[in-house]
Chain A
Amino acid sequence: MSTDLDFRQLQELAAEILGTDPEKVQLDVSFARDLAADSLDLVELIMAIEETYGVKLPEEELARMHQIKDLWAYLQAHEASASGEPPAASASAAS
């Protein structure tokens, strides 16, 4: 699997979406507890990750991830060639 992913890029992307500093996005921090991400933030994060990395990241997949390292591992395992595909996640979390 690809190992040329840039962690700094993920830090910056997540920080932009979650309104925090890139340095606070570390492998062992929690989305909800440490980064105060709510369900809408996570849908936005999914969209940004799918766009940037060309991977599909189903919502239920993200729901199982508690820390940045879970997302990082997923990206390393799934870094796609299939960029440009529509995202798999539904953006209907806001009800």
Chain B
Amino acid sequence: MAGFTREVAYRIFAHELKDTSVALERDLENAYAPQYVLTPTGAKVNRVFIVGTLTETEDIGTDTEYWRARISDPTGTFFVYAGQYQPDATRVLAEASVPEFLAVVGKVGVYTTEDGNVITSIRPETISVVDAPTRDRWVLETARQTIDRIKRLEDGSSENLAMVEEHYSLDLEQYRQMVASALESMR
């Protein structure tokens, strides 16, 4: 279709996604406008690609299947929720064994709990079982792209700098350390 471009899948470490607390306002005039979240290193994200280790699955649905999966990378844990509207992903989660490496492509959701905590989660589009070299490649790639985002905030070339300053403390050192510890874990 003319004019339609697929949203890029960002590479974000679990720790950074956990710290993400800003859902950007949708363009109200366009019903198809995607929902974006703003991460602390300035990524404006609708879709992510993550690779990690499945550490727990649980069917928390009442009437229909609704799976919650915890998938960990070297920095933290992603929460992935799949139900009847993600039949392929739901089937993979239902059959998956713990632990194994999973690759997930999905949309990021942010919601605020009653006591004011902001929680991020991933609604999967595809989930597949992958191998260790794929996970290693993902960690390296995510480190590379996170460093690039940090640098763009520091040298002022990030187009999202103003938004990051408005919503986050801009303490980038902790994210450098996050990247460093992720890389250390691969050695």
**Bound together:** no
| Residues of A near any B CB (own CB < 8 A) | none
